[in-house]
Amino acid sequence: MRVAPWAGPARVEPDPARAIICVMAVDPQVQTILDGLAVAAAEGPSLAEQTPDEVRASFAMMAMLGTPEDVASVEDSTVAGPAGDLPIRIYRPATEGTLPALVWYHGGGFVIGDLDSHDAVCRSLANRAGCVVIAVDYRLAPEHPFPAAPDDAIAAFDALRSRAGAFGIDPDRMATGGDSAGGNLAAVVANARRGDVAFQLLIYPVTDMNRTSQSYRDNAEGYLLSAEMMTWFEGHYTGGAHLDDPRVSPLFEEDLSGVAPAFLLTAEFDPLRDEGEAYGKRLVDAGVPVEMRRYDGMVHGFFQMNAMVDAADVALDEAGDALRRGLA
């Protein structure tokens, strides 16, 4: 495993040519997981033949690839959403007093995933960043297509900030974060609440639902997340919305000036690699401080695999450190 080098703590501009010049093999630990998943997939129906509920049940197995760390406390609660109460889960590290907070949105293509699927990640980030992590269980498509997810994401952030004292968090030190679809929602909330969001933690975020980048062609299949899967997710989620709508595809946000500083992570063998790095460049061009990492040899979803993949622990450490500094 080779981690892309930093150019320092200031803004880092991605190098699109780097993927062509420095292509590596998939990390052996990741390849073992991919091989096992390929065998299981060959014995079952294709994605197009499965219902969202069937895919959700399969995705629940991802939770087994993470190592759930002990935290000081875990509490389930709710906050008001636009269509009723939204379930949340609050993770507190072993630190006293009023703490900064990360509002976390789980990945899963806006169709799958829940509070349990990302439990281990939230525990790790709470410990490594020394902040409260509050995971939001937003409504999923196709039962609730766009704009239900961003509406819930924004409403949850607003409710948590307005009741910060009740949750023991500092309203002026609140970050948004998430992986994949959750990274999309974290960016959407940060764009909508400039001045209120202090930091963004974007883990291989979905930023362009048009799905036309080179990394979609390079990594179309065989690397956990496939181009076919993203098409399936988009078909269930967007509900006819224009794919250039910035709340669908944050890459098309006209003006990103004044958005919160960000830590943005991408993976080499990920269809979403190029759009994530393109979004990072858009932030840089708008004068936003950005720290970027591309993890070579990694695939989409590796951030959840620290029970089996050493690079996931490195990534969790880096993300936690960036979050700690961003909320200092």
3-state secondary structure of 72: coil
Residues 169 and 11: their CA atoms lie apart, in Å, by: 28
Task: Confirm whether 226 is a catalytic residue.
Answer: no
**Length of the chain (residues):** 328
CB 248 within 8 A of CB 206: no
CB atoms within 10 A of CB 78: 13
Q: Is the dihedral of CA 3, 41, 210, 141 positive or negative?
A: negative
Active-site residue among 124, 180, 213, 215?
Answer: 180
Active-site residue among 119, 152, 170, 270?
Answer: 270
User: Alpha carbon of 192 to those of 41, 195, 245, 246, 261: distances in Å?
Assistant: 39, 9, 13, 10, 14
Task: Confirm whether 300 is a catalytic residue.
Answer: yes
User: Alpha carbon of 118 to those of 13, 68, 105: distances in Å?
Assistant: 29, 10, 9
Task: Confirm whether 180 is a catalytic residue.
Answer: yes
CB 101 within 8 A of CB 224: no
Query: Catalytic site residues?
Result: 180, 270, 300
